[in-house]
Structure 1
Amino acid sequence: MIPVRPRRLGLVAALLLALAGRIAPAAAATGGTAGQPYASYWFPHELLNWTPASDPDAPYNRGSVPLADRFTDPATQVNPHAREGEAGVTAISIMYPSTSGNPSLGAPVFDTYAFGYWPYVDLLVFWGGSAGEGLILAPTADVIDSAHKNGVPVLGTVFFPPNVFGGQIGWVQDFVQQNGATFPVADKLIEVADHYGFDGWFINQETAGGDSTLALQMQGFLQYFQANKLPGQQIQWYDAMIDNGAIAWQNELNDRNAMFLEDGGRVSDSMFLNFGWSAGTNLADSRAKAIALGRNPYDVYAGVDVQGLGY
C-alpha cells in the first residue's frame, strides 16, 4: 500500500479513510518537546531487541480500555439491510503525518487526524511505515482507547514498501527468519500487541525480489502467528505477494494468493484486496474461491481509496 498508487480495503462493504507511507518529518508532529513519549516503531531487527523494560516510553503506549461489545439497535440503524456477521467495514487511517514522532498520549501541538467514524467501522488499521523511519508501527494509546470504547478492534501495521520507495528484500527476510521451529519476529508481534493492548496486525508486503521459498516462509510465519496468538488477536493480509514470491496484485482471492489466507487451516484472519478489483468479476470470483476454501466470503475485503496522497 503506497501513497501514490490507488489500491486496497474490504469485500462487499469497506471504507479506506487513509493510507500513505512516506510523509512529513517527525519533528513537525510535536515541535520537539523534551520528555515527550512517542509511539513505538521498528525495523524487524530492532523489534527483536525490544522489551517493555528497555523502552522508557512503553508505559505511555499501553491502552487502558478493554474492547467493548458492539450492539445493534434497530431503532437507530440507518441501513436496514445491514446485518451483523456479514459485510464489515475496515478503515485504514493515517492518524499522524509520519511514522516516527507520534505522541503517545497527545502533545502541545495538535497535528493528528481525529477519527470520528467509530459507529460505522468494524476494524481500524493504524496505518504507517516507511523505508526511512521504520516498517512496523504500533498504534498510540489514545487511538487504542478510542477504538476500544466504541467496540472497534485496532491493528498495527507492518509495511514492506515497493523498491522504488526504498523497500529492501532483506527486511522481508529478516521478518520471516526462523530460530528452530519458532519465528522470533512473530513472537514479538504477539508480545507487543498484548503489552500495549491492541488487537493484531495489518501486514502489507509489497517489496519485490522474493521467490517461492520466501513466499512459503511468509506463509509459515503467518501460520505460526495463528498457532501462538493470544485471544482476540488477528492478522489482516494485503493482496500483493503471490505464491512464487513476486509482487503481483491480483485484485481478487485466487490460486495465486490463497495460500496467505487459507491452506488446510487458517493462515490469516482476513485479506484486503488491492484496489483494482471489479464488482462484476473479481468480487464474484473471490466469493467463490473463499467458499471453496471453506472460508466466509466476508473475510475478503475490497476497498476504495478515498485519500491517496493526503493526510
Structure 2
Amino acid sequence: MAGGYTDDRYVQGGKNADAYSIWHWYLIDVFVYFSHDLVTLPPPCWTNTAHRHGVKVLGTFIMEWDEGRKRADKLLSTKDSAQMYAERLTELAVALGFDGWLINMEVNLDPGQIPNLKAFVSYLSETMHSSLPGSLVIWYDSVTVDGELSWQNQLNDKNKPFFDLCDGIFVNYSWEEDFPKLSADAAGDRKFDVYMGIDVFGRGTYGGGQWTSNIALDVIKKMTFQLPYLHLDGSMRLSNHLTFKLLRVDGGDLLKNHGELYRIIPKYFHSTQILIRVMVTTYIVKETKFWMLLGTIFLPKAFSLSLNILETLPLSQSKFLSRKTSG
C-alpha cells in the first residue's frame, strides 16, 4: 500500500526487520484489510496469521469518487447485475480463504438505484453465509437510503435499512458524545453489531484520537459496542497504513510507539484467549528486532520476516520477552 507500507506484498516474507506487523492479536476480533482500490484482497500472510489467532479477516469492496459512480451505475443497472457482483465477491472470499467483506459505497446514487443496492447487500450476505458459515458482511456508514453520500456518524433510519440486511455497520468516526447511545437505541438487541469508528489520526474524531483515543473509548464502553476502527483506521478495522504513519511520526520509534498505542486498549476489552496444545511457538521478538524459533535467535539477513509463521502469542509478552539482546 503505497504511502504506508508494502512489505506484506512478499507472501513468503521479506528482509525488513521493521516491517509492520501485529503482536496484539488477542485484542482483535475482526481485521479488515483496506485500500482505496475497488476490490482489496487480504494478502495471505495476514489471513494466515489472523486465523491462527482466532481473528476473522475481511476484504474491502469500495466505490468512491467519479470513477466509483460509473462503476456503481454498472453494478446497480439491474437486480441480476447486483447479484452477479455479489456472487463474484463470495467466490473470491471462499477461494482465498478470508471471511467476508466491508462494503463502502462512498458515492451519490439515484434513489431509483437503492432497491438494487439493497439486493446486492442482501444477496452478498446470503451467499457468504451459505458458502462460508460464520462469515461477515459489514456495511460502512456512507450512502443513505435516499441515495445521498452523507456520513451519519450513528445508526439511524438513513442507514439502518442496510444494517438490517447484513451482519453489522461500521459507523463513520466523526460522531458526537451522544451518538453511541442513539445508535444503541436504534440497534435494539443488535447493538453488538454496531462498530463505532475512532480515527487514530484524530481527523474529526471525538476526543482527538492519537494518544488520547481512550477518551472516545470511554464513551463507547458505556454502550458496550464493538470497536472496529482504531484508523486502528481498526474490529478492530485496522487500516494499517495509517497506523504505520502515526507510529513513525517525527521519526519516532515504531516498536515503542506501537506498544504505547496498544496499552490504551486492553482495559476496554475482554481478550480473545486461544487454548493451544503445544508449548512451542514461533513469534517475533520485537524488543530485539530478531526472530526466535525454538529458543534460537536468527538475524534478519538470514531469516526473513514472514507473518505466515507467526503463531499464537502469549497474552502477557513481558513474561517471555523481558530479556534484551545486544547488537
Q: Does 1:102 align with 2:9?
A: yes
Deviation at 1:232, TM superposition (A): 2.1
Superposed counterparts of 1:21-170, under 5 Å: 23-24=2-3, 96-97=5-6, 102-107=9-14, 112-129=19-36, 134-161=37-64, 163=65, 167-170=67-70
**Aligned twin of 1:303:** 197
Deviation at 1:248, TM superposition (A): 0.4
**Aligned twin of 1:186:** 86
Deviation at 1:105, TM superposition (A): 3.4
Any idea what SS the aligned residue of 2:86 has?
helix
Percent of residue pairs identical: 29
Higher normalized contact order (CA 8 Å, seq sep 6+, divided by chain length): 1
Any idea what SS the aligned residue of 1:244 has?
coil
Instruction: Kindly provide the CA deviation profile for residues 272-296 of structure 1, in whole angstroms up to 9, marking residues without a partner as x.
Output: 111111232x1111111111xxx41
Q: Does 1:240 align with 2:142?
A: yes
Uncovered stretches (5+) of structure 2, i.e. residues with no partner: 202-230, 232-241, 246-327
Rounded to whole Å, the distance in 2 between the matches of 1:113 and 1:174 is: 37
**Aligned twin of 1:172:** 72
Rounded to whole Å, the distance in 2 between the matches of 1:142 and 1:276 is: 32
Rounded to whole Å, the distance in 1 between the matches of 2:166 and 2:29 is: 17
Any idea what SS the aligned residue of 1:241 has?
coil
CA contact (8 A) 2:82 2:117 kept: no
**Aligned twin of 1:276:** 174
Q: Does 1:223 align with 2:125?
A: no
Pick the structure with greater CA Rg: 2
CA contact (8 A) 2:141 2:152 kept: yes
CA contact (8 A) 2:75 2:81 kept: no
Say what the alpha-carbon RMSD is for the aligned residues: 2.5
Q: Which has the higher helix share?
A: 2
Uncovered stretches (5+) of structure 1, i.e. residues with no partner: 1-21, 25-93
Rounded to whole Å, the distance in 1 between the matches of 2:12 and 2:147 is: 39
Any idea what SS the aligned residue of 1:296 has?
helix
Amino acid at match of 1:252: Q
What is the TM-score with the length of structure 1 in the denominator?
A: 0.59
Deviation at 1:302, TM superposition (A): 0.7
Amino acid at match of 1:275: Y
Rounded to whole Å, the distance in 1 between the matches of 2:99 and 2:84 is: 19
CA contact (8 A) 1:202 1:237 kept: yes
Amino acid at match of 1:305: D
Q: Does 1:286 align with 2:188?
A: no
Any idea what SS the aligned residue of 2:180 has?
helix
Rounded to whole Å, the distance in 2 between the matches of 1:206 and 1:193 is: 22
Deviation at 1:108, TM superposition (A): 5.2
Instruction: Kindly provide the CA deviation profile for residues 239-270 of structure 1, in whole angstroms up to 9, marking residues without a partner as x.
Output: 011011110011111111111111xxxx1101
Rounded to whole Å, the distance in 1 between the matches of 2:22 and 2:77 is: 36
CA contact (8 A) 2:79 2:119 kept: no
What is the TM-score with the length of structure 2 in the denominator?
A: 0.56
Aligned residues: 202
